[in-house]
Amino acid sequence: MPRNGTSPGKNYEQAKPQISCAEDYFACLTDALQSVPHARIDEISNVLLNAYEEARNIFVFGNGGSAALASHFACDLGKGATARGSHPKRFRAIALTDSIPMMTAWANDSSYDDVFADQLRNLIEPGDVAFAISASGNSPNVLRALQTARDAGGYRVGLTGFQGGKMKKLCDLCLVVPSDNMQLIEDIHLSIAHALFTTIRQKLEDKLLAAEAKLALVVP
């Protein structure tokens, strides 16, 4: 990522105030965190929980740091976001960033703009969730994948920053981090992913406890 915190290839001005030491950075991060729309995170949580209850697939994708987060978030959902138990029901979360051979094949034989869209065409069903991560909101391959998901009847969730970019209009539900600093946006995207994971796991645990309590009332 560029040192000035701006999106590569875009004509954004450098984030202000200037960041010249760690104290500056974390002060800016704290300020940005205060503006994150917490209610929108809970809305996304409900969408993901609905997909879980209906056994829908959740496809996560992004570029660069967002690609790393896509893989990270799919792992959190698929492995850790579940109630206790030896064989609990789990999320059907798939990171389209995980297969380097698949991505390079599409990039080489078609276009890098197609590396996510063409994977989705093979997999997505109506009602599945396409979870897009793009700090700028303007990554062509992310936009194309969202268009593919829309055409297939998928539900589209987005994490972005700056002003939302072009992806904002392509999403059914989009959370825009109110910052023009790429690194701060990526930090907050990770925090949002962890907030989703943590709250979803607790909601599933609460549901299990409620079911156990109800069963205890009817079983002597």
CB under 8 Å to 44, separation ≥6 — which residues? 157, 173, 175, 196
The larger pLDDT score, comparing residue 5 to residue 78, is at 78
Q: Do residues 186 and 65 make contact, with C-beta atoms less than 8 angstroms apart?
A: yes
> % helix / strand / coil in the chain, to the nearest 5?
55, 10, 35
Q: Where are the beta strands (DSSP E) in the chain?
A: 57-62, 92-95, 129-133, 155-160, 173-176
C-alpha–C-alpha distance, residues 93 and 58, integer Å: 5
Residue 59: closest CA among 139, 110, 118: 118
C-alpha–C-alpha distance, residues 86 and 59, integer Å: 25
3-state secondary structure of 20: coil
Percent of the chain with pLDDT over 90: 76
C-alpha–C-alpha distance, residues 61 and 145, integer Å: 9
Each residue's pLDDT tens digit, 141-195? 999 999 999 999 999 999 999 999 999 999 999 999 999 999 999 999 999 999 9
pLDDT at residue number 11: 41
Edge-to-edge strand ranges of the sheet holding 57-62: 92-95, 57-62, 129-133, 155-160, 173-176
pLDDT at residue number 206: 82
C-alpha–C-alpha distance, residues 32 and 197, integer Å: 21
- Res 4 pLDDT > 70: no
List, as one string, the DSSP characters of 41-73: HHHHHHHHHHHHHTT-EEEEEESTHHHHHHHHH
Residue 5: closest CA among 137, 162, 159, 192: 162
* Domain spans in the chain, listed from the N-terminal domain onward: 37-210
| Domain 37-210 annotated CATH 3.40.1280.10 | no
